[in-house]
Amino acid sequence: MKNKGLWIAIGIVVVVIIVVISSYNGLVKMSEEAMMAWSNVETAYQRRSDLIPNLVNTVKGYAAHELETLQSVTDARTKATSVTIDPSTATPAQMEAWMEAQDEVNGALGRLIAVAESYPDLKANENFMQLQQQLEGTENRISTERRKYNEAVREYNVAIRRFPSNIIAGMFGFEKMELFEAAEGADEVPVVEF
C-alpha cells in the first residue's frame, strides 16, 4: 500500500510538471507569433514609408509651389519612422504615440493625393499612377497585418488569463500585450471638398 501512495504522488508531480511545461511552451509560442505579427505590421508600414519619397518627388515635379504639403508628408514620414516600440512591453501610451505618428502620415498622404487631383498632367503620369496603386495596395496590407496582429495578441492575452496558464504566466512574467485601437474619429466619414 505504501508503494501505491508513492506512485500516485509521483504521478501527480509528473502531471503537474507536464502541465507547467506545456503551458509555458504554449505561451512562448503565442508570444512569438504575436511578435512575428508585429514585425509584419512594421514591414508593411516601412513599405509605405519607402514609397513616400518617390511619390513626393513625382508630385514635386508638377506641383513645386505646394512645398508646404510636400514638406508635411516628409516630416510625418520622418516622425513615423523614428517612433519604435516593443509590443511585448509597450504601454497604451506608447502604442498611442506610435499610432498617432502613423496617422499623421495617413493625413499628410491624403493631403498630397488631394493636391495631385488638382493637376491633370500629374494624374495622367504613369509613375504617379503606379506609385498611387502601390500605396493603395500597401494600405490594404497594413490593414491586413494589423488585423492579424490583433488576432495573435488577443489569443495570447486570453491564454495568459486562462487557468492554469495564468499561474504559469504570472510565474514567468508573461505580460499583457497591447492591441491596435481605431484612431479617434475613424468611425466618421471624412468630408472631401475640391
Query: What pLDDT, on a 0 to 100 scale, did the predictor assign at position 26?
Result: 95
Q: What is the rounded CA–CA span in Å between residue 84 and residue 81? A: 7
Residue 141's CB: how many other CB atoms inside 10 A? 17
Residue 101's CB: how many other CB atoms inside 10 A? 19
In the CATH hierarchy, which fold is given to the domain comprising 2-172? de novo design (two linked rop proteins) (1.20.1440)
User: What pLDDT digit, counting tens, does each position of 94-123 carry?
Assistant: 888 888 899 898 888 888 888 777 777 777
Distance of CA 133 to the CA centre of its chain: 21
DSSP state of 186: T
Residue with cell 512574467: 173
pTM for the predicted model, two decimal places: 0.78
User: What pLDDT digit, counting tens, does each position of 53-83 carry?
Assistant: 888 888 877 776 677 788 888 888 888 888 8
User: If 0-12 CB within 10 Å is exposed, 13-18 middle and 19+ buried, where does residue 133 land?
Assistant: exposed
pLDDT higher than 80, residue 5: yes
